[in-house]
Amino acid sequence: MARFTLPRDIYHGKGALEALKDFKGKKAMICVGGGSMKRFGFLDKAESYLKEAGMEVEIFDGIEPDPSVETVMKGADAMLKFEPDWIVAIGGGSPIDAAKAMWIKYEYPDCTFEDMCKVFGIPELRKKAHFCAVSSTSGTATEVTAFSIITDYSKGIKYPIADFEITPDVAIVDPELAETMPKKLVAHTGMDAMTHAVEAYVSTANSDYTDPLAIHAIEMIRNDLVASYNGDMAARDRMHNAQCLAGMAFSNALLGIVHSMAHKTGAAFADYGAHIIHGAANAMYLPKVIAFNAKDETAKKRYGVIVDYMGIADENASDDDKVSALIAYLRKMNDDLNIPHGIGTYGADSYPTEKGFVPEEVFLERLHDIAVNAIADACTGSNPRQPSVEEMEKLLKCCYYDTEVDF
Ligand SMILES: NC(=O)c1ccc[n+]([C@@H]2O[C@H](COP(=O)([O-])OP(=O)(O)OC[C@H]3O[C@@H](n4cnc5c(N)ncnc54)[C@H](O)[C@@H]3O)[C@@H](O)[C@H]2O)c1
Ligand SMILES: [Zn+2]
């Protein structure tokens, strides 16, 4: 038996934020990040719409990018004091993910972070509050997914919390919020969305329900991401939908080892000033993982179908040639979006540079542990080809040196 779960309502299109005016409840806690939503007026709008709906509103702000366990616990304390019956998270993946974890702790104050990380082990929520997510970036799609990614900085590891219990009740996908994104954020979140769609399509948990969403998202992202990056606002608006479709696919089809590797390298070199941004990590690793997975016949055929839909190779070409075309196309997208091809050249502001943040000897010293952690990541199980620790180390090396994957 398989399950396909999405939010009950998805409001989309310009002005969708106004849906908050019709919410029924007494108290809403808005969870938000460091200031962009305030600066661009979306926080004030959300607050006034909820007040128009007759609700008392409190704001929990300051949720940092890649939120920590500590922030989750602080937010849950604030919820326990205020007792909201609606949690409304506005912003990128970070504040929405943090709010999801706060929600668990609010409903079950005795639940520890370790308890939350048990995959599909969250007890029944919605006894105290319902959850609405309003996304302002076009990538994570956390507004529709069963996931939340929280970082344990004491270990330098990102942990995915995964359970359909944390799939929001309501998602608001209003492209006006995404129009204020700076270019770099467009690039990173857009390649995150591309990775979600590709990994979902070749995942071992793919299904007739998720395939159309993944394929359509891939076609849209191929058509619109670079244009959106270059300032085309109609393309930016479409990307907001495309990333959401990719999210609906991967929330139900799960992901693969691109995400396992991104989760385990993201904070692993933070002490060297190299915080490897989630979307950039995915963009760098995706072509390598495609080459690795294509050794699996079923995955190779599925990459071929992706290529046919993208229209980037002759339909009569061999599957091997189609895989090569896909890898070349994604690398070209990275170039167009100013994203490096490997950790070794990942420099300041995530731009490509000759010598990146992470020194070779530090990478090699930490390689084994990262490989072990990546294999243990919740996203590894649904990858079409299961890597050994040795293969994962080799793959990560290819991602550092930007060398070809031929094993
Ligand atoms: N839950 C999931 O299913 C899922 C999936 C993929 C990634 N993630 C996680 O999500 C996090 C990344 O989220 P993200 O990429 O959306 O970025 P983010 O939420 O970390 O935001 C990055 C920065 O962009 C700013 N920002 C956000 N929206 C803006 C806008 N519209 N205009 C201007 N500035 C804006 C924020 O203030 C912040 O400084 C990571 O922790 C990642 O691991 C979660
Ligand atoms: Zn992602």
Each domain of the chain, given as residue ranges in start order, spans: 9-178, 183-401
Atom of ligand 1 nearest to the CA of 189: 15
List pLDDT tens digits, range 4-32: 999 999 999 999 999 999 999 999 999 99
Among the bound ligands, the one closest to the CA of 266: 1
How many A from CA of 405 to the centre of ligand 1?
30
Residue 274 has pLDDT above 80, yes or no: no
**Across the chain, what does the average pLDDT equal?**
96
The percent helix, strand, coil of the chain (3-state, each to 5) is 55, 10, 35
Cα end-to-end distance, the chain, whole Å: 34
Residue 273 has pLDDT above 90, yes or no: no
Q: Which pLDDT belongs to residue 138?
A: 96
Ranges of H-type helices in 275-384: 278-293, 297-310, 319-336, 360-376
Out of 40, 61, 97, mutate this one to test ligand 1's pocket (max ligand atoms within 8 Å of CB): namely: 97
Tell me the whole-structure pTM to 2 decimals. 0.96
Cβ contact 56:27 at 8 Å: yes
Pocket, ligand 1, Cβ cutoff 6 A: 33-34, 36, 65-66, 91-94, 97, 136-137, 139-140, 142, 145, 147-149, 158, 177-178, 180-182, 185, 189, 192, 278-279
CATH 1.20.1090.10 matches 183-401: yes
CATH 3.40.50.1970 matches 9-178: yes
Residue 156 has pLDDT above 80, yes or no: no
Query: Which of 381, 95, 119, 136 shows the shortest CA–CA distance to 244?
Result: 136
Atom of ligand 1 nearest to the CA of 185: 24
